[in-house]
Amino acid sequence: MSTGDETLLEELLSGKHRALARTISKIENRSPGYRDLVSELYAHTGDADVIGITGSPGAGKSTLVDKLAETYRERGETVGIIAIDPSSPFTGGAVLGDRIRMASTVGDMDVFVRSMSARGTLGGLSTATADAVKAMDAFGKDKIIIETVGAGQNEIDIVRTADTVAVLVPPGSGDDIQTLKAGILEIADVFVVNKADRDGADRTVQELREMIALDDGGGLGGGHHGPDASTHHGGDDGSPEGESERDSAWTVPIVETVATTGDGVEALVDELAGHRTYLVESGERASRSRKRHAEEIRTLLREDVHTMLEAQLERSGGVDELADDVRRGETDPYTIANELLSPVERCLERLETERPTRN
């Protein structure tokens, strides 16, 4: 790692927000040396609570994130916010910039807001997002909130980065709930019916409860959840009797909020905290962390192998020339792929024979 990056790391770990901003810029731009820098961050991560906020456009995500940050600050906790915006077709950068709707914490240095570009990736999350989370975690932020684009079923990518996912459902969603059942709704650890002061909120809550009940106890989102859901209204504890113990499985709560006034936000914060407790006590947090790291390893391998093969393609005359060979009937894509991968396979076989046996 270069001397400049070592200084940057030291400043980040000492709590300088400018260093945090520069680190995230370096990560997002994939600047030279960023991988060595991220590698050094890992030893300082693992303490932050990472929360994903997702849902359809217009559900009030930005306003709710603002109120969440304000509530956490009132509780003495520091907050990092990553707002994933659609990519500009011209620059590849975030279109919306830092959200103007996040106004309650403006000027509070313990709330760090950063907009990042989706860059057209699955779920609106670029690979850089996970690395930016690590930077905030190493910096010492207690809560890291990721607000996603809200593009539909591809939002399931958020589960690979966040510990807890809150899915916002606006009132009057009606048939949309059933339409989304196989996608975005399945990832929820907490359902949030925002704008609960509007007509249709009660019906939306009921539809969500029925949808969860019809899941036959299998648990939405890969078995994270139980078959029933408790409902909180405007901060009042509306949990059914016996709901307080979650030692066997997590029961997905439905929280009603009015983000513009802050109603229900305290109840949401409590449910998010409850889910974190469940993750720790059940061992699920360690399991999710292991899966997350495994996916990171696979992603890095895919990126590196892709880069190496692209370079090999160029040395072979470029993909266009090879495509012309296929067009002329001189070869085929499978043969080309096998020829390009043969050196990699031979290298791996040699490493396998040379690797010392583990005890």
Residue 100 has φ and ψ, to the nearest 5°, of -70, -20
Range from 24-33, 154-163, 224-233, 336-345 carrying the lowest mean pLDDT: 224-233
Q: Is the pLDDT of residue 235 over 70?
A: no
- How does the average pLDDT of the chain come out, rounded? 80
Range from 65-74, 157-166, 224-233, 338-347 carrying the lowest mean pLDDT: 224-233
Instruction: Cite the beta strand spans of the chain per DSSP E.
Output: 49-55, 79-85, 111-117, 143-147, 164-168, 190-193, 231-233, 254-256
Note the pLDDT of residue 177.
63
Q: Mean of the pLDDT values across residues 100-126? A: 66
Domain edges within the chain? 46-283, 292-354
Q: Is the pLDDT of residue 349 over 90?
A: no
Distance CA 14, CA 224 (A): 37
**239 is written with which tokens?**
């949990």
The residue ranking higher by pLDDT, 88 or 189, is 189
Which residues, other chains included, contact 62 with Cβ-Cβ below 8 Å and sequence gap of 6+? 83, 99, 101, 102, 147
Per CATH, domain 46-283 is 3.40.50.300: yes
Sign of CA dihedral 273, 225, 177, 295: positive
Q: Are 80 and 144 in contact (CB under 8 A)?
A: yes
Render pLDDT for 254-304 as a digit per residue (tens, 0 to 9).
Answer: 999 999 999 999 999 999 999 999 999 999 999 989 988 898 898 888 888
Q: Mean of the pLDDT values across residues 79-85? A: 89
Distance CA 132, CA 114 (A): 9
Q: Is the pLDDT of residue 62 over 70?
A: yes
Q: Is the pLDDT of residue 87 over 70?
A: no
The single-letter code of the amino acid at 315 is: R
pTM: 0.80
As a whole number of angstroms, the longest Cα–Cα distance in the chain is: 73
Q: Mean of the pLDDT values across residues 194-202? A: 90
Range from 220-224, 246-250, 252-256 carrying the lowest mean pLDDT: 220-224
